[in-house]
Structure 1
């Protein structure tokens, strides 16, 4: 991997609710190299969005360290963090709620530039026009309002808003989950093209493993706020090492008509963060759990070059995915 642009170490996030401590994230560590796209996958409630917002300090981590291009972000003063913001941008999940209905598209796209005091008004509007062109929207959209656009077009506007500040890192939080299936592929292809053209580094959050396989170089599998597995995309999809990863992948429809894939249905619901299981947090739903799984949380360890898993067992016959 190239030198990390983003380095996260032992990131944790806790909330207090009615006298109970909710552990949303615990000891999350990973790197993202410059120009790399890393996928973050897991069921709803696994903590994916909290990681995305924590690394940009949109929410404050409870513990741990986040370094961006060698700069320690945790602990930066508000003014120092504000100066870092143009280099790190966020694409929100909901293209309807994330755009103000009272602002023109030009005002939406130039708001960040204005806050950062970048350029004159004319220069900011020119940047907005360039960003619209980059996402394949006409320049005249700059004087219109968000309600005049479809969901897919609104998400393109959200992407353009991030691009106006010429960021190096983008956190894309479920960027197509709110869109019609017919539009999702268009937006995913746009993001992939922009990443390649601009050399963007991206943390791509999704529950859709087929989309993640298409766009990501590496994948992080998350369960109940803990990392279960990290591997290169091709390796993870061909040779998943963790029972949870294998269960997730078994649910992806196969494009091979003749292939037979055994569906592995997880029993029960994801546990509450207020009362996580002892030891391995996945053990209450794992078909391969043994008594030792409840005694200590497994460490994330390298089981093949660049392939890491958090599981004490090496004797599970996972085999290769069909």
Structure 2
């Protein structure tokens, strides 16, 4: 991995409601190297979006460290954070809800530039037109409104909005999940091309493991606010080490109807963060759980070069296979 652009250590997020505390994230640690695409996967309710928004301080983390290119973001004032934001941008999941219906596309794309005080109105509009061309939309789209575009085109506009500020780092939060399957591949290929052409660093959030395999260099597997496994993409898909990762990968549909796969069906739903299991949070659904899993929270440990796993069976020198 190249030198880290983003370093996250012991990130936590809690909410207090009606006198009870909801722990959404706990002890989240990972790095993303410059020019790297890291996938963040897990079931709904695992905390993926909370991580994406916390690292950019769109919501404030409760604890932990987030260093971007050596700068501790959690210590920046509001004005300092505003000046740092052009270097890091967010692509939202819903391409329609994230675009104001009352603003032209030109106004949407230049809003961030205006807030940052970048250039005059003509220069800002020129940069907006260039961003539209980068996402394969006509420059004259600046004069139209979001409702005039299809879902795939609106997501391209969302991508263009992120590009206008010429960022180095992008959080892409399930950027194709709201799109038709036929359009998803086009948008994913566009993101991959932009990432390579512009040298972007990216945290790619998705529940679609096939998409993650295609676009990501490394993968972080999340369950109920904790990291279960981190590995290079090719290694993780070829040889998953954590029982949860194995279950997720076994559920990927195969294009070959004659292919035989050892399906590992997880029983029940992901627990509520209001009442998480003791010890390992995955133990209530884990086919390899032992009694001590209820007593000890497994640490995320490096089990091989570049591979990390949180499993009590390692602590006992046992195999999860």
Question: Greater shift after overlay, 247-256 or 40-49?
Answer: 247-256
Deviations along 1:244-274, whole A, 9 cap, x unmatched?
A: 0000000001234543111111001111101
Deviations along 1:148-196, whole A, 9 cap, x unmatched?
A: 0000000000000000000000000000000011100000000000000
Q: What are the equivalent positions in structure 2 for 1:76-87 lying under 5 Å apart?
A: 76-87=76-87
- Tell me the SS of whatever aligns to 2:74: coil
- Runs (5+) with no aligned partner, structure 1: none
Q: What are the equivalent positions in structure 2 for 1:8-157 lying under 5 Å apart?
A: 8-157=8-157
2:246: which partner in 1? 246
- Tell me the SS of whatever aligns to 1:119: coil
> How far apart are the structure 1 equivalents of 2:120 and 2:223?
46
- Tell me the SS of whatever aligns to 1:293: helix
> How far apart are the structure 2 equivalents of 1:64 and 1:235?
29
> How far apart are the structure 1 equivalents of 2:173 and 2:319?
33
1:191 has 2:191 as partner: yes
> How far apart are the structure 2 equivalents of 1:222 and 1:26?
11
TM-score normalised to structure 2 length: 0.98
Counting matched residue pairs gives 318
Conserved? CA contact 1:109–1:164, under 8 Å: yes
- Tell me the SS of whatever aligns to 1:190: helix
Question: Greater shift after overlay, 19-28 or 306-315?
Answer: 306-315
Deviations along 1:90-117, whole A, 9 cap, x unmatched?
A: 0000001000000000000000000000
> How far apart are the structure 2 equivalents of 1:239 and 1:302?
15
> How far apart are the structure 1 equivalents of 2:201 and 2:171?
9
Q: What are the equivalent positions in structure 2 for 1:224-235 lying under 5 Å apart?
A: 224-235=224-235
> How far apart are the structure 2 equivalents of 1:304 and 1:254?
29
> How far apart are the structure 2 equivalents of 1:241 and 1:276?
23
1:161 has 2:169 as partner: no
- Tell me the SS of whatever aligns to 1:74: helix
> How far apart are the structure 1 equivalents of 2:35 and 2:256?
31
> How far apart are the structure 2 equivalents of 1:155 and 1:8?
28
Q: Hey, which bits of structure 1, 4+ residues long, moved more than 4 A? A: none
Conserved? CA contact 2:92–2:158, under 8 Å: yes
> How far apart are the structure 2 equivalents of 1:2 and 1:234?
17
- Tell me the SS of whatever aligns to 1:32: strand
Q: 1:103 to 1:179 in 2, by over 3 A?
A: same
1:259: which partner in 2? 259
Cα deviation for residue 316 of structure 1 reads 3.9
Q: What are the equivalent positions in structure 2 for 1:168-183 lying under 5 Å apart?
A: 168-183=168-183
- Tell me the SS of whatever aligns to 1:194: helix
Conserved? CA contact 2:40–2:221, under 8 Å: yes
- CA RMSD across the alignment: 0.9
Conserved? CA contact 2:25–2:47, under 8 Å: yes
Question: Greater shift after overlay, 125-134 or 258-267?
Answer: 258-267
2:278: which partner in 1? 278
Q: 1:162 to 1:87 in 2, by over 3 A?
A: same
